């Protein structure tokens, strides 16, 4: 296995393009590039097309899907076992838990549920347990296998081990922990058929992989070339840096009279405070990657400190902290706008502000193209309706596409149905309700045109509707029983205005 590391994604893409210049054995063979999101797939496809003139005959699987293919190649009669996914496990846990209530080891669960628990509380607990077991299969496979052998390392594990033993006895088959164990044995001796696996694989731009996946790829690299294109923001070793909170937590474990026990003696370093506080997941992955016995190729490029953003990137790259170290300050131009913070009161206003900001940037820099702009959000599904509403209606229009949406979002009817379910379970905000009007299936059903949507938006804003059906609905969220800014209050205001006009 080879790891190509850089602090710039563009450099990694260029390195991948150079590697792919080496042809496979057949011109019809497909290149396999493992990615983590469809957004990365689109960006990388454009980059490869820019380097090669075309991007064709590439397969972009996600890690889990590809690992399934690896297991099929090495394990005879392998079939994915859906009985261990979270949804199925939830109902299985919900079925088994009540039968274990009399067990002494299950007293913690009994204490939580109580004697007269309702099914909703049981379902909520079952869902949490199922999700935890699913994580155990990936991050603690050895513990799961030990439970199945009756080995329990701590008293806190007893009820979990008992529950898992019942589940595995009922479900049977191969779960992820068993599959990895079997694959590890098979990969040592078995050679897969020539057509079972691609000739080489490239893993590109993935910010984190569990040890489970890294182990599979490491063992696979003994049979075919595996290249990992790893984006690393710093050229320094940062696996041991600690955030301020982690340093404080460690120091609190030592008594105040412990003498000279301090950050220096305990080797507690934050390196760069921003990286230490926001990069904990990346730090863990860097630690895993650094522990691999493999070939490394470094393609770092030191940031030029020409703006506030590039100065911060340079500090992260050098793993330094200007607040603590005697480093010369970087002079920033008064009109520097490389980092901006916009505080908005609602998602709709955020997107409107985004549209205005992008227009200003495009007007200011004639060399800036729409293809150079990437907008990121933690939950694209929550913002997608607002993006569509604003970017479709504003003039001048900015070309856009939304990546990484759930599979049903291409189906307006299915999308509207799931949005209705989300609405019923949520706060019934004005933005959520108005976004439903943008759904073609819903607007066509009720004959709501574009002008009607704008009029409804005006009404909602005029009567100041924010969230909540009525005062009783707000009680469900633990708030006082008041109707101000609810839908019921807004509709009453509109009806009162209509009566006065009449």
CATH 3.20.20.140 fits 82-172, yes or no: no
Dump pLDDT digits (tens) for 259-275: 555 545 444 566 788 88
* pLDDT of res. 255: 60
User: What is the pLDDT, as a whole number, of residue 498?
Assistant: 78
Residues 6+ apart with CB under 8 A from 97: 106, 109, 113, 122, 125, 126, 129, 163
Say how far apart CA 49 and CA 20 lie, in whole Å.
12
Q: Token match 């990121």: residue?
A: 376
pLDDT of 95 higher than 80: yes
Distances (CA, A) of 181 to 143, 144, 399, 501: 12, 11, 49, 76
The mean predicted confidence, pLDDT, of the chain is: 86
Strand stretches in 334-379, DSSP E = none
Those residues with Cβ within 8 angstroms of residue 51's Cβ, 6 or more apart along the chain or in another chain: 13, 14, 17
Domain ranges of the chain: 82-172, 236-283+294-339, 344-404
pLDDT exceeds 70 at position 412? no
Q: What is the pLDDT of residue 502?
A: 57
φ, ψ of residue 3 to 5 degrees: the values are -115, 120
pLDDT of residue 265: 45
Residue 238 near residue 286 (C-beta atoms within 8 A): yes
pTM: 0.74
Q: Which residues pair with 31 in a beta bridge?
A: 58
């Amino acid at each position: 296995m080879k790891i190509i590391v850089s602090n710039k994604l563009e450099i990694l893409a260029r390195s991948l393009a150079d590697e792919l210049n080496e042809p496979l054995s057949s011109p019809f063979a497909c290149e396999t590039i493992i990615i983590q999101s469809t957004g990365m797939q689109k960006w990388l496809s454009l980059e490869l097309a820019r380097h090669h003139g075309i991007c064709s005959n590439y397969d972009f699987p996600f890690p889990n899907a590809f690992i399934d293919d690896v297991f099929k190649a090495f394990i005879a009669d392998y079939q994915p076992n859906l009985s261990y996914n979270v949804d199925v496990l939830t109902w299985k846990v919900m079925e088994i838990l009540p039968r274990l209530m009399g067990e002494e080891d299950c007293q913690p669960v009994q204490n939580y549920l109580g004697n007269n628990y309702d099914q909703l509380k049981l379902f909520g607990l079952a869902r949490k347990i199922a999700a935890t077991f699913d994580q155990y299969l990936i991050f603690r496979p050895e513990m799961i296998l030990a439970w199945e052998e009756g080995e329990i390392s701590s008293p806190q594990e007893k009820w979990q081990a008992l529950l898992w033993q019942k589940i595995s006895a009922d479900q049977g088959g191969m779960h992820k922990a068993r599959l990895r164990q079997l694959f590890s044995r098979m990969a040592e001796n078995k050679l897969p058929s020539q057509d079972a696996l691609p000739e080489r694989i490239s893993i590109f731009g993935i910010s984190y992989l569990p040890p489970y996946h890294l182990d599979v790829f490491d063992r696979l690299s003994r049979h075919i070339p595996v290249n990992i294109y790893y984006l690393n923001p710093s050229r320094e070793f940062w696996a041991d840096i600690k955030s301020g909170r982690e340093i404080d937590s460690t120091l609190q474990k030592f008594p105040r009279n412990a003498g000279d026990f301090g950050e220096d003696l305990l080797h507690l370093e934050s390196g760069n405070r921003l990286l230490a506080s926001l990069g904990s997941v990346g730090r863990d992955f860097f630690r895993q990657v650094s522990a691999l016995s493999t070939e490394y190729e470094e393609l770092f490029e030191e940031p030029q400190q020409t703006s506030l953003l590039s100065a911060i990137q340079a500090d992260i790259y050098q793993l330094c902290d200007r607040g603590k170290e005697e480093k010369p300050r970087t002079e920033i131009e008064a009109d520097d706008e490389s980092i901006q913070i916009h505080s908005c009161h609602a998602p709709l206003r955020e997107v409107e502000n985004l549209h205005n900001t992008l227009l200003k940037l495009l007007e200011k820099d004639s060399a800036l193209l729409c293809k150079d702009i990437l907008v990121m959000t933690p939950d694209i599904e929550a913002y997608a309706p607002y993006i569509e509403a604003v970017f479709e209606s504003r003039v001048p229009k900015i070309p856009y596409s939304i990546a990484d949406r759930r599979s049903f979002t291409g189906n307006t009817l299915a999308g509207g149905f799931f949005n209705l379910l989300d609405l019923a379970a949520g706060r019934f905000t004005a933005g959520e309700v108005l976004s439903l009007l943008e759904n073609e299936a819903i607007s066509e059903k009720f004959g709501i045109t574009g002008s009607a949507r704008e009029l409804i938006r005006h009404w909602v804003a005029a009567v100041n509707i924010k969230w909540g059906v009525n005062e009783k609905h707000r009680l469900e969220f633990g708030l006082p029983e008041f109707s101000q800014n609810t839908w019921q209050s807004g509709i009453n205001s509109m009806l009162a205005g209509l009566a006065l006009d009449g």
